[in-house]
């Protein structure tokens, strides 16, 4: 005889109260701050004020990922002017590097350095140009980084859109992880 074993099926208890989006437990985002807006694809597309962010959340057009980041529910197409496909101007390199020497952090006597020197075939590209103070620039000269005791604060990159300039230099930890999405 085969005995049928009955196992205890755990029934999921339904919540009797309606889902309240957390609004009554306090705001899902940090008030009086700037909020990063991600597209549905997680690509950063805008930085907005907290009140606009609340409106997007209330209209259910966005969800809060953290108290400083929201993500759009639907993907929206934005005709971005792709910054990375433009030739880097001095002003944009300064902006990306937040007017700081990428070797020592100095903010005065700034110049533009070719990471791979021009005499060694280094190009005028986003990935090869960094802000450097004049003393670091002189110290580095036409040497390659691997041969000297100098390090870049971070790898130079081509910003995809203008939001990346902000993310590149933000001190908001929740924003930093979306720099290279
Ligand atoms: Zn320096």
What is the pLDDT tens value at each position of the chain, 181 positions in all? 444 433 333 333 333 344 444 444 578 999 999 999 999 999 999 999 999 999 999 999 999 999 999 999 999 998 767 787 888 999 999 999 999 999 999 999 999 999 999 999 999 999 999 999 999 999 999 999 999 999 999 999 998 888 989 998 999 999 999 987 7
Q: How many angstroms separate the alpha carbon of residue 118 from the centre of ligand 1? A: 19
CA distances from 128 to 38, 89, 111, 112, 159 (A): 28, 12, 14, 10, 13
At residue 129, φ and ψ (nearest 5 deg) are -110, 130
pTM score, two decimals?
0.74
CA distances from 123 to 87, 113, 130 (A): 11, 11, 12
Q: How many angstroms separate the alpha carbon of residue 132 from the centre of ligand 1? A: 5
Q: How many angstroms separate the alpha carbon of residue 156 from the centre of ligand 1? A: 15
Q: How many angstroms separate the alpha carbon of residue 114 from the centre of ligand 1? A: 13
């Amino acid at each position: 005889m085969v005995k049928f074993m009955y196992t205890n099926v755990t029934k999921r208890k339904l919540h009797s109260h309606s889902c309240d989006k957390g609004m009554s437990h306090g705001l899902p985002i940090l008030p009086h701050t700037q909020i990063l807006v991600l597209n549905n694809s997680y690509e950063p597309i805008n930085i907005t004020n907290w009140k606009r962010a609340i409106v997007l959340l209330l209209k259910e057009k966005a969800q809060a990922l953290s108290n400083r980041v929201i993500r759009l529910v639907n993907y929206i197409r934005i005709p971005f002017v792709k910054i990375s496909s433009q030739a880097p101007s001095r002003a944009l390199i300064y902006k990306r590097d937040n007017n700081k020497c990428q070797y020592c952090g100095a903010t005065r006597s700034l110049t533009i350095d070719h990471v791979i020197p021009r005499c060694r075939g280094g190009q005028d590209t986003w990935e090869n140009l960094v802000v450097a103070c004049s003393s670091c620039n002189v110290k580095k000269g036409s040497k390659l980084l691997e041969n000297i005791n100098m390090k870049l604060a971070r790898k130079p990159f081509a910003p995809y859109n203008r939001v990346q300039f902000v993310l590149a230099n933000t001190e908001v930890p929740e924003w930093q992880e979306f720099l290279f999405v």
